[in-house]
Structure 1
Amino acid sequence: MKNTVEKSLKALSRCFVLDSNISINDYVPLDLSKSNKDLASVDVSSSNKLESYIHAHITAHQAKVAYGGYIETRNIYQRSTYFKAANPETERNIHLGLDLWIAAETPIYTPLDGTVHSFKNNTTFGDYGPTIILKHHIDNLEFYTLYGHLSSASIENLKVGHVFNKGQQIATLGDASVNGDYAPHLHFQIIKDMQDYKGDYPGVCSKMDLEFYKENCLDPNLILKL
């Protein structure tokens, strides 16, 4: 049977992008899909109000981190013209990464040995803000991980080609003033083919393009195993 990135990642033990001392019991799932009726009373266009909702969810479950969102259809992106389209089939509202909601300045670590492929401050409203993309190899196969919504300091002295060892801190999380105007969180995404993108890659897609992106952007839980 042909080896694939997905197969190789499935065989891994659990890896970490947050402090490995945070117990798996301290993670709580968070539903930000348009089908979550609780969000009807939340102004999701406001980063402060969404942050309050997420903080209350974490507190209610006595957790430290809220997570989720892979292939989740969300209304949160309707606030930005960056994602809107006249045709519902081409509107970008399906999330391709996994979000980890936790405080700004939280350290972020590489889950595997990696090399800096690229980085960029994606400053459009609703975009990633400071972003790092690492290149990895597993079983002679190449793939990439993307870290979005970071602090500005995370990319200030970074260099393409810099090597990070598994478990090494690569960044800290940004706040709404720099991260695209979101409640603080990490957008973590696995990408098989970067398609010539540098410092950026679509983290949200349309229904029309979903099958392509599901194939190219694997479930981040293959690595995080939450």
Structure 2
Amino acid sequence: MSSETFTQLLDRLGNQSLYVLDSRIPKSAYVKLDLSVTNEALKTIDVSSSEKLENYIDKHILSNNAQVAFGGYIETRNIYQRSNYFNNNPKTERNIHLGIDLWIAAETPIYSPLDAEVHSFQNNTNFGDYGPTLILKHAIETIEFYTLYGHLSVASIKNIKVGQQFKQGEEIAKLGNASVNGDYPPHLHFQIIKDIQNYKGDYPGVASKKDLDFYKENCPDPNLLLRLE
């Protein structure tokens, strides 16, 4: 058994040029986006409207001369309050985001950051959920882990098969629009998962405060791989 920890492995892998969007998009073309409860600007935006939120994000990208907006790991957000899927119990409200979001146009191709095989996939159709979702399994030396890709197009999971192999840098999917992706502006939810537990085609991407310690351990910061900041 390797003495290298999971986090150390991710950090080492991140020294490579890993990407889930087109590798020709320079890191200088990514701009940080704050969707947290502390962002005063969002208080004037109806974040329950995917169209109005998309306009806000598009303006943010344009005003920063960027191509992609990113962010959200361990970010407490209000945008989930519109959906009972996250808030059916006020004592366990799930509003802390566990992945990184990459906000870019629908139909944008998504690529595997590492060699992988398909673990599972599913269309998660709850309001505010992922919509079409793909989970890949990675085996690096003695360590196995998973990456989740949410808010994809329906076509992305139409002809895929469990066990299918992808090489690093190979296209795996395309982004969906608000009509299929849980009613959000187009974006990729990218999440690292150490222990997939018994989930297939789905895994919590938003946590409650009471469960956060577990999920921070099981779902480390995707920037360990992507190095966007």
Same fold (TM over 0.5): yes
- Separation in structure 1 between the aligned mates of residue 141 and residue 99 of structure 2, nearest angstrom: 23
| 1:14 shift after superposition | 2.9
Are 1:210 and 2:212 matched, yes or no? yes
Q: Partners of 2:109 and 2:89 in 1: how far apart?
A: 39
Letter in 2 for 1:26: A
Match of 2:54 among 48, 51, 55: 51
Residue in structure 2 matched with residue 110 of structure 1 by the alignment: 112
For 1:168 and 1:194, the matched residues in 2 are separated by: 23
In structure 2, distance between residues paired with 1:147 and 1:164: 14
Give the corresponding residue for 2:4.
3
| Superposed counterparts of 1:67-216, under 5 Å | 67-88=70-91, 90-216=92-218
Residue aligned with 2:90, SS = coil
For residue 6 of structure 1, what is the amino acid of its counterpart? T
**Which stretch shows the higher mean deviation, 169-178 or 10-19?**
10-19
Query: Matched residues in 2 for 1:79 and 1:217: separation?
Result: 25
Deviation at 1:210, TM superposition (A): 0.2
Deviation per residue, 1:173-212 (Å, 9 max, x gap): 0000000000000000000001110000000000000000
CA distance in 1, matches of 2:176, 2:88: 28
TM superposition score normalised by structure 2: 0.97
Deviation of 1:44 after TM superposition, in Å, equals 0.3
Q: 2:69 aligns with which of 51, 66, 70?
A: 66
What whole-Å deviation, never above 9, does each CA across 1:94-119 have from its counterpart, x for those lacking one? Answer: 00000000000000000000000000
Aligned-residue identity in percent: 68
Runs of 4+ in 1 over 6 A off after TM superposition: none
Question: Greater shift after overlay, 183-192 or 136-145?
Answer: 136-145
Q: What's the CA shift for 1:5?
A: 1.8
* 2:18 paired residue among 15, 25, 33: 15
Partner AA of 1:65 in structure 2: V
Structure 1 pair 32–3 and aligned structure 2 pair: CA distance change class (3 A):
same
Q: Which amino acid aligns with 1:188?
A: F
SS in 2 for 1:160: coil
Q: How many residues align?
A: 225
Q: Does 1:28 align with 2:31?
A: yes
CA distance in structure 2 between the partners assigned to 1:219 and 1:74 by the alignment = 17
SS of the equivalent of 1:108 reads strand
Do the aligned residues in 2 keep the contact of 1:8 with 1:139 (CA within 8 Å)?
no
Tell me whether 110-119 or 137-146 shows the greater mean CA deviation: 137-146
SS of 2:81's equivalent in the other structure is helix
Matched to 2:12, the amino acid is: A
CA displacement at 1:85 relative to structure 2: 4.2
Deviation of 1:86 (Å): 4.1
**Which of 34, 42, 50 lines up with 1:39 in the alignment?**
42
Amino acid at match of 1:43: D
